[in-house]
Amino acid sequence: MYLIGGLFLGWSLGANDAANVFGTAVGSRMVRFRTAAIMCSLFMIFGAVVQGSGGAETLNSLGSVGSLRDAFIVTISAAITVFGMSYFGLPVSTSQAVVGAIIGWNLFAGMPTDAIVLKKILLTWILCPFLAAMFAIPLFALMKIYVKYTSIHLLKQDAILRWGLLAIGAFGSFSLGANNIANVMGVFIPSVALQDIGFAGLTFSGAKQLFFIGALAIAAGVFTFSARTMKTVGGKLFKLSPESALIVVLAHSLVLFVFSSSWLSAFVSGLGLPSIPLVPVSSSQAIVGAIIGIGLMRGGYGINYKVLGEISIGWVATPVASALLVLGMLSVGL
Amino acid sequence: MISPFRKANAIIDTMDGFFDIIERSGYLFNNSIKDFLSGNEEHFQTGLAEIRIAEKKADALLKEIEHSLYKYSLMPELRSDVMRMMQRVDDIVDTMKEVLVQFDVERPNIPDVLIAPFIQLSEISSECASRASAGAKYFFRNSADARPCIQHAIELESKADDLAEKIKRRAFHELHELSLPEKFHIRYFTLHVESVSDIAKSVAYTLNLMLVKRFE
């Protein structure tokens, strides 16, 4: 019953953020919605179960929400914040709402908030759109060269592009599931004790089972409500060619992958470099960052710098709203 | 094994077939005008019959291309521009057929001194059409090859303009033995032959815009 908060958050994540991965492909009719929804759901579930633990550990080290009831209040507050801010057209991120809600719970419960972890999370949020832009710039330059100098017939390029959108969409869905599942189910891990399950020679820990349930909620969001957002994103948010959209989704997916891959983080540490923080980041902000990167490559014309301002306001406003909501709910004894 | 390019290959073949027809029509047009002016009636009629068939075939292929592009939702960002451009290319063969029909119906009396310039005008016009059509074909494969074709087509249209003006001036200012209706008739046919290069130029401009939109 208490899982409903997380499931609702998962559903809303599927309904909204799947559009970041497959929006342009579906909106421009390069990929059918049904194909996109199936691919997106399968790879999100796969990413969540296989690679979702890193972000969850970071969130739980920020504040270990002790009981199921409190975890419910944290997730439902985050969900209400996301829903409310989206309703009023304000930029919002599930990751930021969840972090705010955890801090709100820490404040109410008198638990300390780990300043180092918080600093790491904040830094990652700021890095997310910039890194997406950094990935998008060289990728877009390569794409331009390919488009200009290839002698492959446009119709064959179109076929390659469709397969590319599907493949990168699958990678994007995997990364989104891996990175954002922590928002949906992370706070339940300390309070829900599930027995390990063995299946086909593999062992699924309690956390992985929770991630699987959360990912099913995300998939439900994809199938029930993302069709409209995908078509809206494809037609309105970014007027990009399918080639540019491919780069945007790839840059976004790389950012989410970087901040969720424990393997990559360990590899970087092994090279003697600082380890990559495994933190849930905003999928939408990664998309905006990548679009701005492409805009800069085109000479900076038509970039809506207001969006950057709105993102930075969101970095503060979303967690604060979410934290206040948790404090309010706990104070009235919910 | 099913190729991922099966549908694309089928439409590419249809498109290539379409452009081949346009290319062949330019050759037929030029030869038919030469045949008419040299009084080779039998060859002229054969050319006219062939261009009628070519025009119908081009229409059918264009319809097939349009149907496939929309049915399989191919090149969604480009297809309306592509279809507009291909329709303009199809207008070239329509106009060529129409001009030859006018020659057949109205039988203009072209004085001997104007036969060579007339043949030259038809050569320039059909070459202009051929360059524009080649540019359109290259647009789908290699933008670098499309640009010189476009440029050449535009230059040829300008040449056709100059030559047509010379023919008209000669008819009205030098050939005093011609009656006014005969002069009008010559002007009318000069415009007809020249109109092929005008349409080819509009194809070249459309292509140029499409190249800018896609590659810059």
Which residue type, as a one-letter code, is found at position B83?
Answer: M
Q: CB B8 to CB A159 under 8 A?
A: yes
Spatial distance between the Cα atoms of B157 and B134, rounded to a whole number of angstroms: 15
The CATH class of the B4-215 domain is: mainly alpha
CB contact under 8 A, A156 and B215: no
Is A158's CB within 8 Å of B143's CB?
no
Least confident of A192-206, A315-329, B21-35, B70-84: A192-206
pLDDT at A263 over 80: yes
Burial class of B40 by CB neighbour count within 10 A (0 to 12, 13 to 18, 19+): middle
pLDDT of residue B204: 96
Q: Per-domain residue ranges for chain A?
A: 4-331
CA neighbor of B187 nearest in space, from B203, B209, B166, B159: B166
Q: What is the pLDDT of residue A318?
A: 85
pTM greater than 0.90: no
Contacts B77 to A, Cβ<8 Å: 28, 241-242
Would the CB atoms of B214 and A147 count as touching at under 8 Å?
yes
Residues of chain B with Cβ-Cβ distance to A148 below 8 Å are 143, 215
pLDDT in tens, chain B (216 residues): 567 788 889 999 999 999 999 999 999 999 999 999 999 999 999 999 999 999 999 999 999 999 999 888 888 888 899 999 999 999 999 999 999 999 999 999 999 999 999 999 999 999 999 999 999 999 998 888 899 999 999 999 999 999 999 999 999 999 999 999 999 999 999 999 999 999 999 999 999 999 888 766
- Give me the total of CB pairs closer than 8 Å, taking one residue from chain A and one from chain B: 46
A207 or B135: which carries more pLDDT confidence? Answer: B135
What are the tens digits of pLDDT across the range A208-248? Answer: 888 898 899 999 988 987 787 676 655 554 567 788 888 98
- Compare all CA atoms of chain B with the CA of A239 and give the residue at the minimum distance: B77
In angstroms, the separation between the Cα of residue A151 and the nearest Cα of chain B is 5
Phi-psi region of A185 (alpha: psi -120 to 50; beta: other; left: phi over 0): alpha
Residues of B in contact with A29 (CB under 8 A): 73, 76
From chain B, pick out residues whose CB is under 8 angstroms from the CB of A28: 76-77
Q: Which residues of B touch A149 (CB under 8 A)?
A: 144
Domain ranges in chain B are 4-215
Distance in angstroms (rounded) separating the CA atoms of residues A170 and B187: 65
Assess whether pLDDT exceeds 70 at residue A46: yes
pLDDT at B29: 96
What's the pLDDT at A185?
85
Place of tokens 């492959």: A152
Residue B9 falls in which region: left (phi positive, over 0), alpha (psi -120 to 50) or beta: alpha
